Amino acid sequence: MTTARRKAQGTIIELTNQLAADSGYRLNWINYPINRIYHSLKSGDIDFWPGSPNVPALQDFTLSSKPLGITVKLCAFSLENSKTITAIEQLGDKQLVLIRGYTYRDQLKAIFENNPHQPIVAPNHPAAMELLHHGRGEYLISYGHPMQEAMKDYPLQDAHCDTLDDWPLVYVISRRNPNTQLIADTFDAAYERRSTEHLSAEAAPENDAAQSSLP
């Protein structure tokens, strides 16, 4: 299957490869910007994408798997001296930094449109963090996992995430594939098996310890 990714993202990619191998699939990963992912799911050029459920732009031509045990977190990243964001509305008059090619939840659309400051669109996370570091932006709007990955190479001192929203990761499958439902069911079953095995492995040492203490 041809599978879209924004970037190789550690846990998500590793889990997906494991589930595919368990299910007898071989994945061909390609790195697309988000808009091209949407277009390619519609055309059938890609078969599936680890992404967000209930995206209005995708609902007519995709099917989603059950939620995985990974949470997607949308954050407002800022430096230590910045005011903590507890509600999206607080961003309405702030200088925001966005990442080129990323899409954001619908509730942020009005914030971007009505903000008196034009958001700065950075080409990538290191460039966005530079803008924060030099005071050109107040808050960087991005997702938790790619930001954490970027900070491994570009540690930004005292940066913190104020969570704006979170939702479960799912596999979004193109209905252009004739086996859409089968793919969803197969990955759901593979994830369920792996989760059960993981719980059994965690429980086994406790059981062994309990048995060894019996008279």
One digit per residue, pLDDT tens: the chain, 215 residues? 756 555 445 578 889 999 999 999 999 998 887 888 999 999 999 999 999 898 888 999 999 999 998 888 999 999 988 999 999 999 999 999 999 888 787 778 889 999 999 999 999 999 999 999 999 999 999 988 888 878 888 777 778 899 999 999 999 999 999 999 999 999 999 999 988 876 554 444 444 433 333 33
Of 6, 37, 5, nearest to 20 by C-alpha is 5
Domain at 9, CATH number:
3.40.190.10
160 and 199 assigned to the same domain? no
78 and 163 assigned to the same domain? yes
The predicted model scores a pTM of 0.74
> Residue 74 is inside which H or E element, if any?
strand 71-78
Q: How many domains does the chain have?
A: 2
Rg of the chain over all Cα atoms, to the nearest angstrom? 20
96 and 48 assigned to the same domain? no
Residues of the domain holding 13: 2-70+169-212
113 and 193 assigned to the same domain? no
Greatest Cα pair distance, the chain, in angstroms, is 74
**Tokens (6 digits) for 198:** 């993981």
65 and 81 assigned to the same domain? no
91 and 61 assigned to the same domain? no
Measured CA to CA in angstroms, residue 151 lies from 5, 22, 73, 116 at distances of 19, 32, 16, 29
100 and 161 assigned to the same domain? yes
65 and 37 assigned to the same domain? yes
DSSP 8-state symbol, 192: H
107 and 156 assigned to the same domain? yes
